[in-house]
Amino acid sequence: MNKMSVKDLKDLKGKKVLVRCDFNVPMKDGVITDENRITGALPTIKYLLDNGARVTLCSHMGKPHSIFSAEVKLNKKDKAKVEKGETTAEAIIEKAKKDEPKKLTLAPVAKRLNELLGGKVVFANDVIGPDATAKRDALKNGEAVLLENLRFHWEEEKRDEGFCKALAYDAEIYVNDAFGTAHRSHASTAAIVEYGIIKTAVCGFLIEKELTVMADTLENPKRPFVGILGGAKVADKLNAISNLLEKCDTLIIGGGMAYTFLKAKGYEIGTSLLDEEKIDYCKEMIEKAEKLGKELVLPVDTVVTSSFPDPIDAPIEVETVDSDKIPADKMGMDIGEKTRALYASKIANAKSVVWNGPMGVFENPILAKGTVAVAQALADVYGKCTTIIGGGDSAAAIQQLGFADKVTHISTGGGASLELFEGKVLPGIACLNEKR
């Protein structure tokens, strides 16, 4: 993808730059528990500051109730409470108005950024209000301000043009470095450029890496090219399955979604997870693989148990059976030993691998062996094969399992990387300027 990056910008001294970051970091009691998204944004921010730009940073945090609009929407959990008569919508909203600005504020991120960047970052306690305006006006060359949570404004997700103009303020350059939200067509991710409010629009180093490594691998892979898809449901990855079948030489299926494929082959799958409406689709994909001469690899044996662990990491009794012999009262929870060896052998011969979705319930150590085996197989080919982890649960798994430094690239965006796997154009990237 031939998009301009911050490296293509000339003479940044004194230029006013708006940067869309992804600072949607996990928090507990007001403390950041994982700084990866913050440290991932540092190269772009440092580059702009070191070159004398006046930088405004913006990001969302979490999913606030729509408490700042006339159109209030409750999430599923709150709707259920209201339906059960446990509370009222009005009570939920009143509580959210008090709690969410405290829970979902970006103030802790600003504090940490300021520490990492040597005191060059201040925090604005609003997005387009008087504090943001005053602090943006006061910026000197090589200084930055982080605005409050964009999603405290309903206009962000609704692409409101007036909000886009206020957010842009006097910015001359727009930089998108939030790959995790590049699949969202919101005010700060796409509309601000699409409306022509800021005409110079480029990607930061984080998105540039995503495009260079992941997008280019999907378009021009070294072969053999192996795709690995896991996770719970076929429905979540319909387009990814079809698109990767056309691009890959071998497509490996694992996780809960594998059981719908096994059912499509005529196997009994006991009480395993099943997307009943997608059985015909799986049959079509099996036929498509045969027509294209591609290898579609399914589990040959399965780790089964009588019930889902509760809590999820609780000790459980398991056994391994062939995938066509799953007992009627058992559910598949992970790939078995023979399947682990089979999948590892496919990875061992590959020159390019993309992986999205775990092989089983990896949060439980007893059911994590399949996911560990795939991660180990990728680590074993490190340096000889381009290995890409497509964000989300598979990225979390490979980091938790200690293999993060043994893969080529871990994507910073689960939904965005999956849409790239699907062959979709991401709005937050499509709007950026092409290289001249």
Q: Which residues are catalytic?
A: 37, 233, 392, 415
Between CA 156 and CA 51 the distance in angstroms is 29
Q: Residues 10, 13, 19, 23: what is their CA dihedral angle, to the nearest 10 degrees?
A: 120
Alpha helices in 124-202 (DSSP H): 130-138, 154-158, 161-168, 192-194
Inter-residue contact 61 to 153 (CB < 8 Å)? no
Between CA 260 and CA 92 the distance in angstroms is 39
> Sign of torsion, CA 315 321 326 327?
negative
Token pair listed for 31: 């403390």
Q: Which phi and psi angles does 124 have, rounded to 5°? A: -100, 130
Q: Which phi and psi angles does 42 have, rounded to 5°? A: -60, -45
The residue assigned the tokens 């998108």 is 176
The kind and range of the H/E element at 392 are helix 392-400
- Which are the contacts of 4, defined by CB distance < 8 A and separation ≥ 6? 201, 202, 203, 432, 433, 434, 435, 436
Residue type, 16: K
